[in-house]
Amino acid sequence: MVELAKAIRKYPHPEVEFIFTHEPDKQSKDNSFKGTQSKIQRLNYHLDYFRWKEFQLPDLVKKHQPDVLICPDFVSPAASLPCRRLTVVHDAFFWQMPQNYPKWWRTYFLNLIKKGLKEKTEIITTTDYSKRSLEKHLGKNWPISVIYQCPKSLKAASDPQILKKLGLVNQSYFLHIGTFDKRKQLPLLTKTFAEFLKQTKSSKKLLLVGGPGQSAQMNDFPKVEKLVKELGLEKHVILPGFLSDGEIKALYEHAFAYLFPSENEGFGIPIPEAMGFGLPVIHSDQEALLEVADGAGLPFQTGNQEDLLEKMVLLDRDSELCQSLSEKGKIRSGDFSAQKFVEAFHQIILKPGL
């Protein structure tokens, strides 16, 4: 949402005027509902969200009378509206992976999604893979268009002090950035890295940046912590938690390669993000990741530890392969620019109504 808002302002269209319900920069810095929350805090968040989406937003539509309402977060109001709706549904995880969500919450959220799919609605999703997945679960009642996302702009100055803080000065390391959701397969990555060290006697480290998964059911952070201790990897695997944009930028600039073993993604923003920094990328052969990488990454069979290990060893030993992947990745990352991102929205907004 933040990157879309930035792109809208950076690349205006003479025939399109956007009205923001919130000031994007200010809203993105609101930490009211971030971090560890009690059940009461989580409930208050959902009540706040429901009130906003189902009552306040329809009132704003009546006030401003837009031609198109863009809802970039799965849910459009259940109320009848006079305008077209573009509802962004990033992936089909709620249908594909029910075990990862509390049953009551999943039922509630799916109900919100379905009630908002009405009238002149068009769904926007992130890859052809996500489109096929959504058609499988929602049918073809609503037209679905694919718009590739753009990575975070990371405009902050690079902060190389993070390298010193984490003991990575003049140190080669593999990088992964993201939450410890179960679908990210970070326990698999941790075990594979232990085998990589045994086989290669390498001094490389593994850096897993990010916080816990979104719920107790989805969170693999405790499992990774336990594996690090059991496998004696305390000096080899670094878990720094959340970091600033400047710190993230510095880590991208100095990493050896990016590892992305996820079993399910709707898009996979880390792939074009890492490629934009010239990093070779090893990723699972999950359909969305294959689509986004488009041959510029090094795929392995999803969930296959031996295949992942083989690709890590191959990359470690083959400098020409590293260089080739780096060059291909930089070219591929150009397909995910902010300008292309917002221009795709312009095209859909300006086409004849449904």
> If one looks up domain 161-335 in CATH, what number appears?
3.40.50.2000
Q: Could you tell me where the DSSP H helices lie in the chain?
A: 2-10, 24-28, 39-51, 57-64, 93-96, 103-116, 128-138, 161-165, 186-200, 221-230, 245-254, 270-276, 287-293, 305-317, 319-333, 338-350
Q: Residue 45: what pLDDT?
A: 85
Q: Which residue has the tokens 């100095």?
A: 254
Q: Residue 212: what pLDDT?
A: 85
Fold of 2-150+338-350: Rossmann fold (3.40.50)
Q: Residue 175: exposed, middle, or buried by beta-carbon count in 10 A (0-12, 13-18, 19+)?
A: buried
Q: Residue 353: what pLDDT?
A: 54
Nearest to 240 by CA among 157, 155, 151, 164: 164
* pLDDT per position as a tens digit, 73-107: 999 999 999 999 999 999 999 999 898 888 888 99
State how far the alpha carbon of 135 is from the alpha carbons of 29, 38, 140, 143, in Å: 35, 36, 6, 9
**Pairwise pLDDT comparison (46 vs 286), residue with the higher score:** 286
* pLDDT per position as a tens digit, 113-138: 999 999 999 999 999 999 999 999 99
Mean pLDDT value across the chain:
93
Q: Residue 43: what pLDDT?
A: 83
- Please, which pLDDT band fits residue 235 given cuts at 50, 70 and 90? very high
- Please, which pLDDT band fits residue 237 given cuts at 50, 70 and 90? very high
User: Where are the chain's structural domains?
Assistant: 2-150+338-350, 161-335
- Please, which pLDDT band fits residue 4 given cuts at 50, 70 and 90? very high
Report the distance separating Cα 223 and Cα 188, nearest Å: 10
* pLDDT per position as a tens digit, 191-208: 999 999 999 999 999 999
- Please, which pLDDT band fits residue 146 given cuts at 50, 70 and 90? very high
* pLDDT per position as a tens digit, 276-318: 999 999 999 999 999 999 999 999 999 999 999 999 999 999 9
Q: Would 2-150+338-350 and 161-335 be classified into the same CATH topology? A: yes
* Mean pLDDT (whole number) for 213-242: 92
Please give the full DSSP string across 139-182, using - where no structure is assigned: TTSS-EEE---------SPP-THHHHHTT-TT--EEEEES-BBG
pLDDT higher than threshold 60 for residue 36: no
